Structure formats: structure tokens, C-alpha cells
Chains A and B, each alone.
Chain A
Amino acid sequence: MSETSFNDVHPREVANKSSKESLRKAIGMALRIESDALRLNTQTFNTNRYTAVGRLDDYQELKDRARQIKESSIQNLPGLIERLTRSIEARGGKVFLARTKAEATSYIRNVCRSFDARLVVKAKSITSEEIGLNPALQDAGIEVAETDLAEFILQVSKEQPSHIVAPAIHRSRERISKLFKEHFNTAKPLDTGEQLTEFARDILREKFLAADVGVTGANLVSADEGTILLVESEGNIRLTTQLPAVHIAIAGIEKIIPCKKDFGTFIELLAASGTGQPLSSYTNILEPPLDLPVLNLNGRKDARREFHLVLIDNGRMKMREDPDLREALYCVRCSACMNVCATFQAVGGHAFGGECYTGGIGGAWTVGTSGNLEEGRFAELCTGCSRCVPNCPVRIDIPRLNTVIKERLMKSEGAPSLEKRFFGNFSSMAKFASLAPALSNWINGLSPSRAVLEKFAGVDRRRSIPPFAKKTLARQYAVYRKKNMPPAALYPDARKLFLFADVFTNYQNAGIGMAAVRVFEKLGFPVALTRVMEDGRSAQSQGLLESARKSAVTLAVYLKKLIDGGADIIVAEPSVLSMFRLDYAKLLDANDVFSVLKAHTFDPLEWLNLSAERYPEFRQLLEQKVRKRATQPMIFYHAHCQLKTIGAGEAAPQFFRRLGLDVETSSVECCGMAGSFGYKKEFYDISRNIGSDLGRQIEKSVQSNAAVTVLASGTSCREQIHDELSRRVEHPIEFIDEML
């Protein structure tokens, strides 16, 4: 498809991602038209979020509490629905439990008709998008005015939401100005945010004053008192609930929690995690029907207020019974997972999303509420970088949900594709290629080979597979050990060290593995090498969960034995370390084995930092080594996404600062290569778009200091930087090896 034709793709046409073609077109459209605004807006939210959660001194405890409340609520959901119904009815409100979209829209339409409503004002509600409320009301001759400014924009542009909190986040101010000028044909100036806001406010104020019925969503609903939490910034929810005499609230059944006092746990978490505010401008705690007298600003003579709570099932009870998708029901729709996601920052929810649900969490929601697995195909855009995991206020393992969807899609399509098998079984391929690495590298570099790989395995021909080492790590280590006796242990109480010979380090990055061995031994820590074993990372990234599970179980038994024998395991490749410290929690049945692995596997620099804390003589040794150096280089360091997630992203900068070096770090969440993701033809453009962000940061750093040394801990990060800047990038441990 040509570039021009992407300009003609309307987001609504490609909202449903059942087909691969639809996903492809949506990606092309988003990268071409929406990406700049998305990056600016999501990154602003993301930066503000870090600041806001940093101000919550009990952030982790709040998250634990929120998770606990949601888990227990979903567990006790049927009872909570009954209790909530009693609470609302006792106050004179009505509750309707809709099993389907059609039941929900039919009920709401009937309420509006019974009230002779001609105009409905509506606040932002993604659940109302899910049930298709607007077309249902409009078909019945009832006008619907979206009053949230983002939804107002979308109503004009006829687009679906691209973000769960800021639905028009994909539109720059300039694109909104153009849209309004064309649509409204007005002489009023519409060239600033203020002018656009005032213009929309004036239109919507007329709607508010004339409205017959107000429709809102609900952030949470408490069963004990039938209280509704509604968070907003603009004030449109306040007017929607106060001005018309009839208020209809639409809430998924997963929004119910037991007690109003538990709102206290969520309100700060929601604001901080979502828009990065201490609290949103208006956090409304409502017990409708309100005591407020009917205002009748619309000229009606309504005598009393009415309230209807429409609870939506529409697949949620089935999700509750699904051991994997159930996790999605804990979502509080804050959008942190979208703002922190490098893919989402590049393409937003019109590509990384479906008809209404977007981002990493959107896959499970789309599958669950549509009942159609194929609509969740956009889950393929989850790279598994895991940056959403520590930033989710209810601790949902979102990458896991997407891996499950990928696995189910694969099973539904029969056997795994050649592409999935190629990337998912990398160890066999690497083992085979390493029999004759020079030949493999030569073939890999040839254009015809790349064309074949692209055609049959989906590897984009503009990417090159990292070369295979002339000699594997296992062979190099054996030669090294014959020539070098292990050093005398300087620190008698230190645990034994094993370097894990993961597939990537053994076959491709043997030099990094050997650098690690030399560094540790120069510093007085003898290092042994483990057997070369598959860890499951490659298989998991392709949704081959069974294969990943088998590798994990075998490897965990082996590693645990070493650890039980008094060893710590050093892992040079961050994506593998992250398996041990994060993903094995779900791949292994035995929690005790996972806990042991989590506690005794380390990034090389993380382990050195811990040793520096533990042994004064080690600190002295480091100081001596550093003092010998005449010049101290400046470092630019990019931490691997998964390394950050497991809490080791700061290990390298910390160690370098310990050595007295100046370190600048990248602020991007992920380089965009993300293992196999950036190699795939279908995702190459997204990957490079994300990578350009990191590239710009490095270029800026190099411009201010040409002698800067660029370091990155992940294999795929180094490949991405190389492709961006044609610049050699080392692993931090190689740099330290050269320093010592």
C-alpha cells in the first residue's frame, strides 16, 4: 500500500482487528498521521505519572490493597451485585443487570422514551462505547451530545477512542483546529487551545441547559451504600449528573467493590496512575438520586429526580470463569499501561486497540466482551517489554494476558506459522548455525538469504540477525579455564558464582560472557559456567506457552540444585534474567522454586554493587583499579526494559558512579526491538519509529560530548541502536573488562 493511501484510511474502518490486513492498515495510518501527537501526549502523561506516584509514600502498599480489594470483589461478585441492588433501591433508584449489549441499550432507550427525552447529555464512558449506546439512541430519534471534550471531538470526527482516559489523544491541536473549521464552518478563531475549548464549551453549555437525561459511566460503585465514584477534570460529569432530572449510570459489573470507604484506596492511585495528578480536578462521590432539587433549567416541570444504574455483564461473567482473562477484570482503567508502553506511544489505540478497548489491557477486554478471539489480534503489538507490569496500580500481568491471546489465536489457526516456529525455537536454529558460524554469518549477510528469511520466516530484510560467535561461550570458557586457574577467593563468605550460559550469550554474545568471567575473576570472584540450556524466553514471546513451560521446568530444577549448593547465578542477558525473576512465577507450578530463583539470579553489575556494599576490601580494590586510569570516559547508558521492570535498571549507572564516572541514561521505556518484535516484517516500521526516540537521545548526548561511550545491556537494544546510528554499542560488562 502506498503512503498516500494510508492517509485515506479512517480509523473506524480498521477498528475491528479480526483480519491481519486491518491491523496492517491501522499501523500504517497511525504511524503516518497520529504518531507525533501520541508520543508527545502519552510521554507527558507518563512523566507526570512517575512524579505523582513518587509523591505517594505508601504507593506499593496502596497497590497491594487495591489488588486485594479487586480480587476479593471479583470472587464475591454475585453477592455484591445483590447487595448493591438493595442499596440503590432502598434510596429510590433502579438497577438493571444487562446480560448483553442489546439488553442494556434497550433498557436505556426505554427509560429515555418513558421520559419523553429528546436530548441526552453524556459523559465519557468506554462501557457505553462497548454497548453501542449512541447509535441505539440515535436510531430511536434521540440526540446524544458527548460532553467530554475528547469525546466531543470524536463525535465530530466519527472516530473511535484511541485511549481509555484521553480518547482523542491521537489528535494534535492543529488537527483539531482543522477538523472544527471544516465541520462547523464558523468565522470564530479556532487556532489555540483556549479558542477551541471556549468554542466547544459554548456549544455544549446549550446542550446541558436543554438536556432531558444525563448518562455517565462509573469508575467504581460501592455495594454497601450504592455510592458511585466518577473522576473527571472538565466538570462535565458534574453538570451531567446535576442538571437533568434523570441520571443513568452505566457500569461494568467488575466496577463493584464492597465498601465506600475503599474509595479512599483508589482515588489517589487512579489520579496518580492516570493523568499524573495528586487528584483529578473533580472526584465525585455520588449517592443518586441526588438530594439536589430538580433545577428544570430546560423548562420542563419535572417534580423529582430519577436514577438508573445499568450494570453490564456482556461477557464479564465468562471472563470471571476464565483463569487467564479473569485478571483483566481487576483493571481500574487508569491508562498507565498505555502511557508507559513504547508501542502505544508510537501508534496509539487506533492500531494497538479494537472497537473501543485499547493498549495492552485492551486485548483481553476486546476478546472478553466481543466473544471473538480474532478481534484481539492487536495483542500481537504487545512486545512483552513488561514496562506496564510495575506501573499497573492493581498489579495486572498484562504481557501474560497478551501471550495467552497469542497462544489461543495460534491454536485456533492450527499449527504455529513458520515465523512463530523460527523465532520461538531460536536455540535449535542457533545451535545448528553455530556448527559453522562463519558460513552461517556469510549466508545471513547475503541479500537472497534475507529475502528468503523475509518470505518464509517473516524476518524483515532490512534487519540482520546478530552474527554467531566464532566460538561459543562454552568452548571459549573451556579454553580459558585450561589456561587460567580460578583465582583465590578473596571473600571467604561469598557465595559461589555461576554464569548462566543462555542461548543468546552462548551462541552470539560469547564475548560478553567471557568479559563477565574475566571481570569477576579479576576482582577475586571465581566463576563457573552452567550448561547451555533453553530458558523459554523465545518460545514465550511467540505465544508458544507449552514449549516455554517445558524449558522453564527443566531449567529451574537444574538451577535450583546449583543454588541449593551455595551458588548465585549471574545472567548477562536481561530478557533471560527477567524470565527467572518475573515470568517463571507463572510458568512454574512450584512457587518455592520460583522464589529461590528470584532471590539468587543477578545482573552482573547488580551483583557487583551488592558485593561493594558487603565487602570494604572490594570497594578498596575497585578504587585502586580506577585510580590507575588517566582519563575517565563519559557514558550514555540505555537500560533494557525488562531489566528496569525487575528493579535492576539502575545497577549499571550505580556501579559506574561508584567508579567516579559520569553517566547519562536514556529515558525511553523500551528500545522498540524487544527481542524478535523488531525483526518481524509486519512490525519493522513501528520498531524503527520507537527506536528513533532512543536514537535522538543518543545523538543529543554525542553532540554535547563526542567521546561518549554508548552502552546497553540487552542484545536487541544494541542491535536497535546499531541500526539507528550505525554505532558500536557494548554491554556494560565489556566496558568494565576493558577498564580493569
Chain B
Amino acid sequence: MSGIDLIGLFLANAAGTTAAVETVKRDPEALNEALLRNAGDGPIFFACDGDVDPRLFSRFRQNQRVVTRPSVDEMKTIGTGVTDAFCGIATTGSICVSIGRELTGPASSLTRKHIAVLDANAIVPRPRDVFSEEFLEGKALHRSFSFITGPSATADMGPLVRGVHGPGKLLIIVLV
């Protein structure tokens, strides 16, 4: 798939999954503005696994609404989670989010709204490329993670409904 506009393809396919997508400059101020504009009211559960340069979140972290180690009660009730994503998939509009020490798992699964921040340089053509030698550069992929493709959904109750046990809203911020 060489020569294809991976970012353009990713944006189109992610929108096709009914995720919201937005491109933002690789800049702490710009990212902070975008995150706050989209996070809604109340505390924001923030977890970053270091896949996106942590310095880009420096401005956002300073906000008092941002919680990185929520209490048990906060974790049960916080509406919005912000995480980084270590990979994007152009043909499916998916993102890959770790499940590890930094609580990116709960922040992306317990909340009603998930905002994922993805570096455009980490977009690969197809899901299988995440397991490829080229992507891994010889390293093993030693982590638990989820390909997230659009919001949580079900057709078990008849018509398609978005927002079941996982977030009903997904916003992907692509850093360019």
C-alpha cells in the first residue's frame, strides 16, 4: 500500500466507524485546547503510556480537572477518559490502546467518552501490520492492548445501539 495517503485514509475510515476525528498540531497548547474543548464538564481521567511524546501533554496535565490516579469512587463515575494510542490503522480507522501499568485500559473502557491521541506517524496500513517485523523493528510486541474501532456497540437489543459497556463516544485526535 505504498504511496497511499495513510492519514487521509485513516481519517475517512475512522469517521466511517462513527468515531469523531480531528487533526491537531504537535504542540502542547494546541493539544490542550483540543482536549479541553472536547472533554465536557467534570474531571478528566488521563492515562498516558508514553507512546505519544509525554511532553505534548505537559500543558494539559496542569489543568485541575485532570486526574491521573483516580480514587475508587472517581473511577466508577468519571465521564471522560483521555489516553494515548500507540498505533492507528488506515484501512479500518482503528486505534491501538495499551492495557498496562498506566491505567490506559480503565480510562478507555470505564468512561462514557474516550478521547484518544494518536501521532500521525504511527499509522500503518492494515491491522495485521501491527504484528509485522517492519512495524516492530525486530522487537517483540510484549504488551496487552486493544484495537478500538469506533464506539462500543450492540445489535443484541434489535437495532444498532452505540454505547454499551464501553464508551458510547470516541474522539480520535491525530497529531500532525
Q: Which residues of A contact B (CB under 8 A)?
A: 41, 55, 147-150, 153, 166, 168, 172-174, 176, 192-194, 196-197, 200-201, 204-205, 208-209, 225, 233-236, 238-239, 242, 260-265, 267-268, 277-288, 290-293, 295-297, 299
B147 touches A235 (CB 8 A): no
Query: Once bound together, how far apart are the Cα atoms of A176 and B145, in whole Å?
Result: 34
**B158 and A193 contacting across the interface, CB-CB below 8 Å:** yes
A176-B158, A263-B131 known; A238-B105 Cβ under 8 A: yes
- Can you list 28 A-B contacts (CB < 8 A)? A147-B165, A149-B154, A166-B156, A168-B156, A173-B157, A193-B157, A193-B160, A197-B157, A200-B157, A201-B164, A238-B99, A238-B109, A238-B165, A242-B106, A263-B131, A264-B127, A267-B128, A277-B149, A278-B13, A278-B91, A282-B147, A282-B148, A283-B94, A283-B147, A284-B144, A286-B99, A291-B101, A292-B103
Residues in A whose Cβ lies below 8 Å from that of B145: 284-285
Complex CA–CA separation, A235 to B167 (angstroms)? 8
Question: Smallest CB–CB gap between B77 and chain A, Å?
Answer: 11
B132 contacts A by Cβ under 8 Å? yes
Identify which of B89, B91, B127, B141 contacts A260 (C-beta below 8 A).
Answer: B141
Residues of B within 8 A of A168 (CB): 156
State in angstroms the CA–CA spacing of A272 and B119 once bound together.
Answer: 27
Residues of chain B having any CB pair with chain A under 8 Å: 13, 72, 75-76, 89, 91-94, 99-101, 103, 105-106, 108-110, 126-132, 140-161, 163-167
Evaluate whether A239 and B127 lie within 8 angstroms (CB atoms) in the complex, with A233-B153, A287-B143 already known.
Answer: no
Residues of B within 8 Å of A285, CB to CB, are: 144-147
Give chain A residues whose Cβ lies under 8 Å from the Cβ of B103. Answer: 292-293
Q: Do the beta carbons of A205 and B144 come within 8 Å of each other?
A: no
Most chain A CB atoms below 10 A, which of B93, B103, B152: B152
Q: Is the CB of B92 within 8 A of A279?
A: yes
Q: What's the minimum C-beta distance from B165 to chain A, rounded to whole angstroms? A: 4
Give chain B residues whose Cβ lies under 8 Å from the Cβ of A263.
Answer: 131
B149 touches A205 (CB 8 A): no
Question: Is the CB–CB distance between B146 and A242 below 8 Å?
Answer: no
A264-B101 in contact given A234-B166, A235-B164, A242-B109 (Cβ < 8 Å) = no
Given contacts A278-B92, A287-B142, contact A196 B157 (CB under 8 A): yes
Interface contact B127-A267, CB-CB below 8 Å = yes
Looking at the assembled complex, report how far the CB atom of A569 sits from the nearest CB atom of chain B, in whole angstroms: 42
Q: In the complex, A242→B144 CA distance in Å?
A: 11
Q: How far is the CB of B106 from chain A (nearest CB, A)?
A: 6
How long is the Cα–Cα vector from A283 to B164 in the complex, in angstroms?
Answer: 16
Which B residue sits closest to A176, measured CB to CB?
B157
Q: A149–B141 Cα gap in the complex (Å)? A: 32
User: Are A278 and B149 in contact (CB-based, < 8 A)?
Assistant: yes
> CA A264 – CA B132 in complex, angstroms?
8
For the complex with contacts A55-B91, A238-B105, 12 further pairs of A-B residues with Cβ separation under 8 Å are A166-B155, A168-B156, A197-B157, A235-B167, A264-B128, A265-B128, A268-B127, A282-B148, A285-B145, A285-B146, A292-B100, A292-B106
Closest Cβ–Cβ distance, residue B14 to chain A (whole Å): 11
Q: A291 contacts which chain B residues (CB < 8 A)?
A: 99-101, 143-144
Are the C-beta atoms of A173 and B149 separated by less than 8 Å? no
CA distance A153 to B157 in the complex (A): 9
Nearest 3 pairs between A and B by C-beta? Answer: A235-B166, A173-B158, A264-B128
Check if B150 sits within 8 Å of A281, measured CB to CB: yes
Q: How far is the CA of A267 from the CA of B108 in the complex (A)?
A: 21
Residue of B nearest to A275 (CB): B155
Contact among B72, B76, B143, B165 with A234 in the assembled complex (CB-CB below 8 Å): B165
User: Which of B105, B109, B149, B163 interacts with A279 by CB under 8 Å?
Assistant: B149
| A149 and B157 in contact, given A234-B166, A279-B149, A287-B142 (Cβ under 8 angstroms) | yes
A446 CA / B165 CA spacing, docked (Å): 62
Report how far A173 CA is from B154 CA in the complex, Å: 12
Q: When the two chains form the complex, which single residue of B92, B146, B151, B163 contacts A284, counting CB atoms closer than 8 Å? A: B146
- Given known contacts A281-B152, A293-B101, A234 and B94 CB-to-CB distance under 8 angstroms: no
Which residue on A lies nearest to B170, using beta carbons? A281
Using Cβ atoms and an 8 Å threshold, which residues of chain A touch B148?
A: 281-282
Give the CA-CA distance A148 to B144 in the complex, in Å: 21
Tell me whether A282 and B126 are in contact in the complex, defined as CB-CB below 8 angstroms, given that A173-B158, A235-B109, A292-B100 are known contacts. Answer: no
Whole-angstrom CA separation of A233 from B151 in the bound complex = 9
Given A196-B158, A235-B109, A297-B75, do A149 and B101 touch, yes or no (CB 8 Å)? no
CB distance from B83 to the nearest CB of A (A): 13
| A122 nearest CB across to chain B (Å) | 13
Residues of A within 8 A of B131 (CB): 260-264
Are A239 and B165 in contact, CB atoms less than 8 angstroms apart? yes
B166, A281: Cβ atoms closer than 8 Å? yes
> B152 to A234, Cβ gap below 8 A?
yes
- Give A225 Cβ to nearest chain B Cβ, in Å: 7
Partner of B164, one of A149, A153, A267, A280: A149
Shortest Cβ gap from A704 to chain B (Å): 29
Note all chain A residues with C-beta closer than 8 A to B94. 278-279, 283
Given A264-B127, A279-B94, A286 contacting B158 (CB threshold 8 A): no
Tell which of B76, B101, B105, B142 has the most Cβ of chain A within 10 Å.
Answer: B105
Q: Of the candidates A286, A295, A299, which one forms a contact with B106 in the assembled complex, judged by CB atoms under 8 Å apart? A: A295
Q: Which residues of B contact A197 (CB under 8 A)?
A: 154, 157, 161, 163-164
Collect the chain B residues with CB atoms within 8 Å of residue A55's CB. 91
